Each structure stands twice: as C-alpha cells, then as structure tokens.
Amino acid sequence: MTTSRDQAPDLFGTPEGEKSVEAPLAERLRPREFADFVGQDDITAPDRPLRRAIEADQLSSVIFWGPPGSGKTTLAHLVARHTKAQFVPFSAVTGGVPELRAIIKTAEQRQAINGQRTILFVDEIHRFNKAQQDAFLPHVERGTVILVGATTENPSFEVISPLLSRSLVIVLKPLSDEALGHILDRALADPAIGLGKWNARLSPDAGQRLIAYGNGDARALLTALDFVVKQQPAGPDGTRLIDGVALEAALMKKSIRYDKSGEEHYNVISAYIKSLRDSDPNGALYWLARMLEGGEDPKFIARRLVIFASEDVGNADPMGLVVAAAVAQAVQFVGLPEAQINLAQGTTYLATRRKDNASYIGLLEAMEDAKTHGNLGVPLHLRNAVTSLMKGFGYGKGYRYVHDDPQAKAQQEHLPESLKGRRYYRPKDT
C-alpha cells in the first residue's frame, strides 16, 4: 500500500515513482534515493552531516554551489522526498517578487494552522538581484521558510551577505570520470527509464569519449548519450554498436574545412609552409610567388606567417613573431603590389631562422590532457581568497610567494594533483 507521501508530486508536478517517457533522459534517471546518488560522497555519504540532517528532517537554510550537472537539483529532490515540510520549488528565472510574496503568505498560513514548515527551493538563486533577495530575507530570519538555494556562481559574489550568513554553503564538485561512468552504465542498462530497450553497445573508446564530453556534467553526458543512441542505426541483430567514429560523427566534433577556391589553394599553401619549416627560402619564395600570381589575398599569407612564427620558429628566435606581426601590419598599411616586398622579407627571415616547436607541442599535449581529464579543479593554494567564505574553504592556504621564497619557483606545484609531474614544454637545445 502506498501512502499519500509516496504519491506526492515532485518538483515538476509528476507523482513520484512515475517517470514520463517524454521527459529527458537526465530527468528520468534522476536518483530518488541517496543510494543512487553518485559522485558527491564527501557530502552525501551516510555519516555526513548534510545527509543526516536531511534524513532527520532537521535541515536549516542551505545553498548548494556547484557546476552544471553536479547534482544540485537532485539534492533538492532528495530533500523533498525525506522531509515532512511542504517543499515549494521556485525558479529565479521565471518567478518574481509577486509570486514569492504569495508563497510566503501561504507558508505563514500553513505554519499558523498546523505548524508545518515550508522549504523554499530557489533554483539559480544567483539570478535574483539584491532587492529580490532582500524580499525573502526577513522570512528566512523568522523561520517562515527554510531556504534551499542552488547556484553555479560563487555565492560570495552573487548572494547578499545577510542571507549568506544565515545559510550553510555546500560545495559540489564536478563529477569524476568514475561517477560519470556509473551513470553511463545505469543509463544503458535500465530498460524502464533508461536506454536499455535500445540495446546499445559502446566501445571502450566511445565510452571514454562520452565521459570526456560530459566533462563532469551528468546532464551533458546523458543528453549526448540519448541523442547518439537514438540516431545510431541498429544492426541485423538489433544491436546499436557505437564506436569512437560514430560518436564523433553524431556529435559533429569534426570541423568542416573552409574551401576558398579548390584543392590547389590548400596544396600551394601547404608547400609554402613546409618550405619555411624545412628552412628552404628558395622553395618558400617560389610558392609565395605562385600564390601572389594566383590572386591569393595577401592578408591570408601574412596571417599564416604570424602563425608559423610561433608554431615552428617559437622561442628559438622570438624576434620571428615580431617580424611576422610587422609584416602583417605592413600588408594592411601598404597594400599590393608593394606589400609583396614585405611578404618576401618575412618569408626569407622566417625560412632562415632556427626552428623550435616546443611551445606548440606543449600546448597540444596540455590541451589533450584538458580534454581527457575535463575540468580538474585549481589547487586550493593557487586560488585567491577574496572573501572570508573562500578563505574558510582553504583558498590560498599554503601558497608561497616566490619574491620572498625563491625556492617556491621549483618546489611549488602548479598542476592539478592527477597531472602532477607533467612536462609539456621541452625546448630544443640551441
């Protein structure tokens, strides 16, 4: 037998236990119990104060601060499910002060008649301006409502100080790859509210790419998964096999090449750049002449020289970038036909310089790590503690000021913990 509590509407008006097939996958899979809530064990494990307060129906005003898809709204759902208080959702995007006043009035009546408390869930609370936040501050102070706020922005800057001082701030982290993998597996396996009936199979590469695409955001992961699975054709046995190529095609991650005037345009500019790279000024001048004779835009050539100066010459001769930038400026100022002379000077200078692509290679390796590992948190000692709240969370703690402590230059770590020891910049000996 179900109780009236089991049939209470959730935040979107749907009875608990009923997940509309029309709802997005992320909404259908939203956990209804703490046991299904993954990725935030620091605050939701059985022994953590927040979970104990929710399960004991002793929650005070709280603000959930975290990136998109980290579980802020899901935590609000769990509050709604485990409390005896009346749970009232309110969006700072669609609601205003008049609606808020109506909610407060009803809360006062509810409290006066039967003593029932009201929990006011304000999604995207950072969208409220100071006057709007001031409107419900006295009601939080009097206990008419218990505030549960959710924000992706730093509360130190987006929530007024009086409200902040009366609320507990709970910080949610981007979900780890392990947590996203658990969510991904559940979505693929569940035939009722997930994608189990679609019989999809992901290759290990596709699974890892989807997790990287999610980048700590469960909603982004599930939205992408839902689209990819449903657009992938089924094989003869009904299985939808999704590998990295299929995933990339579905998510349109490959850029489409800009074709200005056909293949020859790309062939000639390729020959020009490779001649520069191989330190052959004669070949570079010939292909420059071919482009100029063919009517190529001189600004396009100048832009390629600026790129080449950093990509291939790099710090072997930092003046290369200065010369290339000066050539680009001269092309703009002088125009053809005289700008050909400027292009020739830049071409021969860069062709005859020493080459070192260490900066570019280091950037590519760093970008690969950035894509693979997602939004790794900035180490606390490298963050500026510009508010007392941030200082309380450990921002700036242990930072060593290199002007006072020269050894900090070599001893202080500047990468996230999981990338400790990475060496991206490896200049060539000159």
Per DSSP, the residues of 227-242 read: HHHHHSPP-TTS-EEE
Domain ranges for the chain:
31-171, 177-251, 263-351
Instruction: Give me the mean pLDDT over the 380-396 stretch.
Output: 88
pLDDT given at position 44: 94
pLDDT given at position 376: 83
pLDDT given at position 250: 80
Confidence class for position 179, pLDDT limits 50, 70, 90: very high
Report d(CA 146, CA 62) in Å as an integer: 8
Q: Kindly state the percentage of the chain with pLDDT values over 70.
A: 92
Report d(CA 10, CA 79) in Å as an integer: 11
pLDDT given at position 262: 57
Quote the longest CA-to-CA distance of the chain.
Answer: 92
Q: What is the pTM of this model?
A: 0.68
User: Is 421's pLDDT higher than 60?
Assistant: yes
> pLDDT tens-digit profile of 304-334?
999 999 999 999 999 999 999 999 999 999 9
Q: Percentage helix, strand, coil, to 5, in the chain? A: 55, 10, 40
Cβ burial of 279 (10 Å; 0-12, 13-18, 19+) is middle
Q: Is 92 helix (H, G, I), strand (E, B) or coil?
A: coil
Q: Kindly state the percentage of the chain with pLDDT values over 90.
A: 51
Phi/psi region, residue 124 (left: phi>0; alpha: psi -120 to 50; beta: rest), is left
**Does residue 79 or residue 256 have the better pLDDT?**
79
Listed residue (294, 44, 68, 333) closest to 174, CA to CA: 68
> pLDDT tens-digit profile of 104-122?
999 999 989 988 889 999 9
Length of the chain: 430
pLDDT given at position 4: 34
> pLDDT tens-digit profile of 344-386?
999 999 999 999 999 999 999 999 888 888 778 888 888 998 8
pLDDT given at position 349: 97
Least confident of 45-54, 262-271, 285-294, 313-322: 262-271
> pLDDT tens-digit profile of 72-90?
999 999 998 888 889 999 8
> pLDDT tens-digit profile of 129-138?
888 888 888 9
Q: Which CATH number fits domain 177-251: 1.10.8.60, 3.90.180.10, 3.40.50.720, 2.40.160.20?
A: 1.10.8.60
Report d(CA 240, CA 263) in Å as an integer: 36
DSSP symbol at 122: E
User: Is 15's pLDDT higher than 50?
Assistant: no
pLDDT given at position 19: 52
pLDDT given at position 12: 38
Domains 31-171 and 263-351 share a fold: no
Q: Kindly list the distances between the CA atom of residue 385 and the CA atoms of 168, 381, 388, in Å, as whole numbers in the listed order.
A: 18, 9, 7
Least confident of 94-108, 257-271, 317-331: 257-271
User: Is 59's pLDDT higher than 50?
Assistant: yes
User: What's the Rg (C-alpha) of the chain?
Assistant: 29
pLDDT given at position 22: 74
Q: Kindly list the distances between the CA atom of residue 427 and the CA atoms of 171, 244, 357, 360, 412, in Å, as whole numbers in the listed order.
A: 40, 33, 8, 10, 21
Please provide the CATH number assigned to the domain covering 31-171. 3.40.50.300
In CATH terms, is domain 263-351 a member of 1.20.272.10?
yes
CB 344 within 8 A of CB 288: yes
Average pLDDT, the chain: 86
User: Is 254's pLDDT higher than 60?
Assistant: no
CB proximity list for 262: less than 8 A, separation 6 or greater: none
**Does residue 317 or residue 254 have the better pLDDT?**
317
CB proximity list for 185: less than 8 A, separation 6 or greater: none
CB proximity list for 279: less than 8 A, separation 6 or greater: 351, 352, 353, 355
Q: Kindly list the distances between the CA atom of residue 386 and the CA atoms of 309, 323, 383, 394, in Å, as whole numbers in the listed order.
A: 39, 41, 9, 11
